[in-house]
Structure 1
């Protein structure tokens, strides 16, 4: 008897985000032209000034004409929802925002931004920062950060490490 070989699947845990992104990404790509990666990284892309008052809605890609000699890829228009008067400030900063978005994608994905004014609901509630670590856990975290030169990266690792190590202590 011959047995068919089953594909190798590593044992272990899968993050729910991986499963959800695998399901949601194709739907978002088809309906809105965006990915969960863009939505998840929006706070870093938009920066502190616009992260809390804006969110990407969709990317409209230009239709290709069969007689178009240029062929190939054309950058799209990103629609961003923004609250109130801050939309005016976002309009003035759109050149920098386009550069950040294209850097995130790694290619010129967006050529222009369309801003619509509407409420932006924030589903994630901001929590208080965790209390600083003490004793052995604090020394352990400090040891992990040796060699990190970037202050921004150090702050991010400190926040993450503090949250993780505090949960282990509970």
Structure 2
């Protein structure tokens, strides 16, 4: 007997979220978005040398109103050689973190020096993109007016073109809106 929902594919985020949620909540994170977007917030180089460890939310004082909560403190583990650089970048990092959440939820960074494990293995050298694939990608995104969308679609096209299984013409074609 087939159970309800069996046989349908689900996004990986839907499956991993419930598993990681309690572990992240125990460290003060409200979701995986800060951890997942750490490289975009601090940049690839700094992400290799640092990790958000936990968020420390201030306790409410008795009699304090239920207004906006006070900003939290983000504890970041950082390799010693990069601690000074991250300290100088702290205002920018705080601004970017708060942009991810959409409000001023983090007010300061506390840096803890120590070893940092790798998020992912180093990227292997990619083979150069064939000229024919480059032309097909350029033609496919030529009709897009928005620059950010066009760049994202170009990256997607390049990623698809360098997959181990060779993409065909249909893989690189963008749907046409009518």
Contact 1:130/1:162 (8 A) holds in 2: no
Query: Is the counterpart of residue 20 in structure 1 residue 1 in structure 2?
Result: no
> 104-113 or 132-141: which moved more?
132-141
* Corresponding residue number in structure 1 for 2:176: none
SS of the aligned residue for 2:14 comes to: helix
RMSD (Å) for aligned C-alpha atoms:
2.7
Q: Give the ranges of 4+ consecutive aligned residues of structure 1 lying more than 3 Å apart after TM superposition.
A: 69-72, 156-160
SS of the aligned residue for 1:120 comes to: coil
Q: Among residues 50, 60, 78, which one is paired with 1:64 in the alignment?
A: 60
Q: What TM-score, normalized by structure 1, do the two folds share?
A: 0.80
Query: Is the counterpart of residue 44 in structure 1 residue 40 in structure 2?
Result: yes
Q: Among residues 72, 76, 82, which one is paired with 1:80 in the alignment?
A: 76
Query: Is the counterpart of residue 169 in structure 1 residue 166 in structure 2?
Result: yes
> 139-148 or 47-56: which moved more?
139-148
Alpha-carbon distance in 1 for matches of 2:78, 2:65 = 37
Contact 1:82/1:115 (8 A) holds in 2: yes
Contact 2:94/2:106 (8 A) holds in 1: yes
Q: What TM-score, normalized by structure 2, do the two folds share?
A: 0.76
Are the structure 2 counterparts of residues 149 and 159 from structure 1 closer, same or farther at C-alpha, using a change threshold of 3 Å?
closer
Q: Which runs of 5+ in 1 are unaligned?
A: 1-6
1:52 Cα deviation after fit = 1.3
Alpha-carbon distance in 2 for matches of 1:121, 1:70 = 39
SS of the aligned residue for 1:108 comes to: coil
Matches within 5 A, 1:14-163: 14-29=10-25, 31-34=26-29, 35-69=31-65, 71-134=67-130, 136-146=132-142, 147=144, 148-150=146-148, 154=151, 157-163=153-159
SS of the aligned residue for 2:147 comes to: coil
State the number of aligned residues. 161
